[in-house]
Structure 1
């Protein structure tokens, strides 16, 4: 950069700073809106809310704690869990298929829940380019690690 260019650049910065300072110091910033009871009431009515005083709040809080009966804690039985359905498939990867297509296919067949997460897993573990073009047996009980070991050459 030559000295003339540097002087011109500096002059431009000084000029723009002066203009911005002029606007900043001459701008009318006294336009603050006053918060009034009417504006608060209007806002609360628009939102379907209700305002109460501190005394009302504490009395409601006190009655709530007094009204809450101390019940004997009964042992809770766990609700019966529905058996999770296990999906199985023979994944056939053909030559030229991208890793994203493989992940999408696994998600479509309910083997994995999110193809983007599995693709991210493959990328972070440097396995994206190691996917083998052949048939693989996979199921929905398998973890990302297990599926990756099955479909890659590692």
Structure 2
């Protein structure tokens, strides 16, 4: 095939694609009929209600929420006895803390210690750590003499 033939073919593809795209995007979307809506609702196990019924449900729901006192959220605090021995690396006990649900991520805690230069200041010993402590509090605890 010659170069001109290939170019003509490519131009024809471009023109036909443009015409199809223009026809697709300018045509109005198909109208939904009652039968289509009912079939969709049945298929997804949904129920259609009138505007008045909906407003009545909203008003009863808002009254019910006003009458009930707000529920207090209960937060579980985990306590863990961390034992750091001489020669332990931060990665080792960070994984322990993650497994005990004290910290979210061992990697991020280790990165925190490394970025702040605290990894070499860690003292061996036994420490009580809680899940409500942040990284700074835990690092202060394990680096203080």
Q: TM-score normalised by the shorter chain: which range applies?
A: 0.5 to 0.7
Equivalent residues in 2 for 1:5-154, closer than 5 Å: 28=10, 30=13, 32=17, 34=20, 52-53=30-31, 68-69=54-55, 71=59, 73-74=62-63, 75=66, 77-84=69-76, 86-153=77-144
Structure 1's 151 and 66: CA in aligned 2 closer, same or farther, altered over 3 A?
Answer: same
Q: What RMSD in Å do the two structures reach over aligned CA positions?
A: 3.8
Q: Number of residue pairs matched? A: 111
Provide runs of 4+ in structure 1 moved above 4 Å: 63-67
* Segment of structure 1 superposing worse, 87-96 or 68-77: 68-77
Runs of 5+ in structure 1 lacking a partner? Answer: 1-21, 38-50, 57-62
Could you give the per-residue CA deviations for residues 93-144 of structure 1, whole angstroms, max 9, x where no partner exists? 1222211111101111222222122222223322222221222221222222
Using the TM superposition, give the Cα deviation of residue 146 of structure 1 relative to its aligned residue in structure 2, in angstroms: 0.9
Give TM-score, length-normalised by structure 1.
0.53
Runs of 5+ in structure 2 lacking a partner? Answer: 35-48
Could you give the per-residue CA deviations for residues 9-45 of structure 1, whole angstroms, max 9, x where no partner exists? xxxxxxxxxxxxx9xx9693635484587xxxxxxxx
2-side partners of 1:134 and 1:114: how far apart? 22
* Segment of structure 1 superposing worse, 104-113 or 124-133: 124-133
Partner of 1:17: none
